[in-house]
């Protein structure tokens, strides 16, 4: 049974795609469901926001553990923002 509660649980567990699928199904059955509409916008926006992630730097960030690596990452961030 696909419900807003189940979709919320999936979302809280980090299962964004599964939650989004449920919200879309709910909206098909109940086109005026404002909670499902808001959730779809929220989750769809999150996906778009991170489309251009530099996966190499993301992995570097996750694994860095020395001051030199932190400084290197900070320099990369500063260069990326300019």
Residues 56 and 42 in one domain: no
Tokens of 69: 């690596």
Q: Of the candidates 82, 35, 53, 58, which has an alpha carbon nearest to the alpha carbon of residue 73?
A: 58
> Closest by alpha carbon to 4, among 64, 59, 61, 30?
30
C-alpha–C-alpha distance, residues 38 and 40, integer Å: 5
> What total of structural domains would you count in the chain?
2
In the structure encoding, which two tokens stand for residue 80, read together?
Answer: 């990326």
**Domain co-membership, 8 together with 42:** yes
Identify whether the C-beta of residue 42 lies closer than 8 Å to the C-beta of residue 24: no
Pair (42, 21) in one structural domain: yes
Structural domain range at position 27: 4-49
Tell me how far apart the alpha carbons of residues 41 and 27 are, in angstroms, rounded to a whole number: 12
pLDDT 10s digit of each residue in the chain, 82 long?
789 999 999 988 988 899 999 999 999 999 999 999 999 988 887 555 555 667 788 788 778 889 998 889 888 888 877 6
């Amino acid at each position: 049974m696909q419900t807003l509660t189940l979709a919320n649980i999936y979302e809280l567990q980090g299962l964004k795609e599964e939650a989004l699928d449920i919200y879309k199904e709910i909206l098909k059955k109940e086109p005026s469901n404002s909670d499902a509409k808001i959730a779809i916008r929220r989750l769809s926006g999150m996906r778009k926001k991170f489309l251009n992630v530099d996966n190499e730097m993301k992995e570097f960030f996750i694994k860095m553990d020395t001051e030199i690596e932190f400084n290197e990452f900070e320099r990369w961030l500063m260069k990326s923002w300019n």
